[in-house]
Amino acid sequence: MDRLDAAALSIPGVRVRVVERCGSTNTALLEEKSADCVLLAAEQQTAGRGRRGRRWHSAPGAGLTFSLALQVRRPVRELAGLSLVAGVAVSKALRALGVARAALKWPNDLVVDGAKLGGILVETRSAGAATRAVIGIGINCRRDSSLGLRLRRKIASLDQFLSPPPSRNDLLKKITSMLLESLDVFESKGLEPLRREWEAMSAYAGQRLRVRLADGRVLSGISDGIAEDGALRLTTRNGIKTVRSGRVVSARVA
């Protein structure tokens, strides 16, 4: 197993830390008061989290789990788009490394041919005139046959598509570099230029989706990209609907 090594992760403008174990890298960075740009990577998370309080499962050394914390000065109403910004960055990094079919599932999943390769969790805290954003990313690097059984869904890992897969240090540096580039674009121009990139990498463009809304209802419609605020657009029998909170539960060719 290749080890994460802070000394090998020199990234301009970023303070990098690697720990053997922690509960959640997102939680650890949210509890800090620093205004610095900080990257925290863990060999193992014992209480990793996904959206809506779901657990993130990863055996020691089988994946890459880390969080990046930094100040964001875009208006609070625009911050819902941060998970899409991060998704664009990670998908571009994976494609550059050779995972040609890496794609995005709204709002925060990384998939290959419908199987989940990774996920993103963005959390924010007010920091005076700015917002402290913590972007947590998890990537499956090595096959873990038990994971798909536990989660009852298709799971992908990098070693299925890259032989040999990159070291986790190289993967972390590539993703972080792309992430910082995308965040710079977001800070200067907002979501719009990244929205088009996200749509070009959508896993389900033009497909018929069933989306479970936050209140439990299910909405069906044809995927029609994302709105200016990052909401999912669906063409339904009653016209265009936008979904700001929910999850895609099924997709099929329209």
Q: Give 116-161 pLDDT, tens digit per residue.
A: 999 999 999 988 888 999 999 999 998 876 665 566 678 999 999 9
CATH topology match: 6-200 vs 208-252: no
CA-based R_g, the chain, Å: 17
Give the whole-angstrom CA distance, residue 200 versus residue 211: 20
Specify whether domain 208-252 bears CATH 2.60.40: no
CA neighbor of 250 nearest in space, from 202, 213, 200, 204: 204
Name the pairing type of β-strands 246-252 and 130-140.
unpaired
Domain ranges of the chain: 6-200, 208-252
Give the CATH superfamily of 6-200.
Bira Bifunctional Protein; Domain 2 (3.30.930.10)
Q: Give 208-228 pLDDT, tens digit per residue.
A: 999 999 999 999 999 999 999
Q: Is the pLDDT of residue 55 over 80?
A: no
